[in-house]
Amino acid sequence: MISALKKEISLRKDELENKTLKSLYFGGGTPSLLHVDELKSLIDEVLKHFSFDSEIEITLEANPDDLDQTFLKELSQTPINRLSIGTQSFFDEDLKMMNRAHNSGEAESSIKRAQDFGFENISIDLIYGSPTSNFEIWKKNLRKTIELEVPHVSSYALTIEPKTALNTWISQGKIAAPKEAEQHEEFFYMTDFLKDHGFDHYEISNFGKPGFHSKHNSSYWKYQEYLGIGPSAHSYNGRNERSWNVANNQLYINSLHQNKLAKETEILSEKDQFNEMLMIGLRTIWGVDLSSLKEKFSTELLEYFQNEIKNKLEDGILSIENNHLKIPEKHWFLADGIASDLFMV
């Protein structure tokens, strides 16, 4: 797999217009299972074809149980300068229900160990609306986050996916289904609580202290180009082309041994680009740049857009600030539905 990843980097070195990288992200699963030497070798491969911005953000997604002292000591000697830790909760009941390998003690100690080895730029994931949790436990999760001085939080409502153990347990009545009203309450409590403690709520599910916003995700939300390496990875050219690699590991490896990449490509229509810009932009504090819309899209589509937003502006569901269309924060919990109402089909 490592050899195949390196081959793909080499084959696709000319796809990015900007050869100076501001972000490098090891994610899409559990890259912390790799040895540090393997991570370093992948970084070295990237550096053969690209240069790094002086303030590049290099993130590693990690499970708490992977972050032992030996791993963190070696990791601290690499260019990796940001950790995204899949904490999910600081309570064992939640973690057992989510089938996580770590326990509450490891969730906390992994963060402290990372800080001891010099990692200040740490993001943690937190899940709210769990049937094994309640409002008081959620408050304690947030207070623990502040106590640990974590500067970035990505937080999501628990969702039930088909064909999962959680879905089976709910259908069998072993645990209760998440309640939307409770998730709504916990979302807005989190918003106020984290903002009171110095966080910017810069995207619906993301909170960062000044200087700690995710550069990687921010570039995606601002519709900039990115290159995804590895099975299932997605790429976007910043204009009208999106591609994704085959999900099958063996097929991915075999194709690259033949100097080919098994991937699919989609050319985005004007409607697709318009809908994506709305969906992504309206989830953020920046909103949608109306000047960019005017430059990019046809008169027919813009007339449709102006007509669709009229009532929502009058109702206060949308607002325009500095020529950017935004959803007021009090309506962010419903942002995806609001955006989809504006889609051109």
Q: What average pLDDT does the segment 91-118 reach?
A: 91
- 242 closest CA partner among 11, 15, 10, 4: 15
* Angle made by CA atoms 29, 34, 39, in degrees to the nearest 5: 100
Rounded to 10 degrees, what is the CA torsion of 230, 236, 242, 244? Answer: 10
CATH number for 18-220: choose from 3.30.750.200, 1.20.210.10, 3.10.20.30, 1.20.1560.10.
Answer: 3.30.750.200
Span(s) in the chain for CATH 1.10.10.920 = 270-345
Position 215 pLDDT exceeds 90: yes
E-strand ranges in 28-95 read 51-62, 82-88
Q: What would the 3-class secondary structure string for 200-249 be?
A: EEEECCEEECCCCCCHHHHHHHCCCCECCCCCCCEEECCCCEEEEECCCH
pLDDT in tens, 129-159: 888 888 999 999 999 999 999 999 999 998 7
pLDDT, position 51: 97
Task: Reply yes or no on domain 270-345 having CATH 1.10.10.920.
Answer: yes
Contact in structure between 275 and 344 (CB atoms under 8 Å): yes
Position 251 pLDDT exceeds 80: yes
Determine the Cα–Cα distance for residues 319 and 334; give it in Å rounded to an integer: 15
pLDDT, position 345: 85
pTM: 0.92
Position 191 pLDDT exceeds 90: yes
Position 16 pLDDT exceeds 80: yes
Asked whether the CA dihedral 51, 151, 139, 284 is positive or negative, the reply is negative
Question: Left, alpha or beta for 195 (phi > 0: left; psi -120 to 50: alpha)?
Answer: alpha
Q: What average pLDDT does the segment 207-229 reach?
A: 93
Contact in structure between 90 and 108 (CB atoms under 8 Å): yes
Neighbours of 259 (CB within 10 A): 9
Report residue 24 CA to chain centroid gap. 13
pLDDT in tens, 233-250: 999 998 899 999 999 999
Span(s) in the chain for CATH 3.30.750.200 = 18-220
pLDDT, position 154: 97
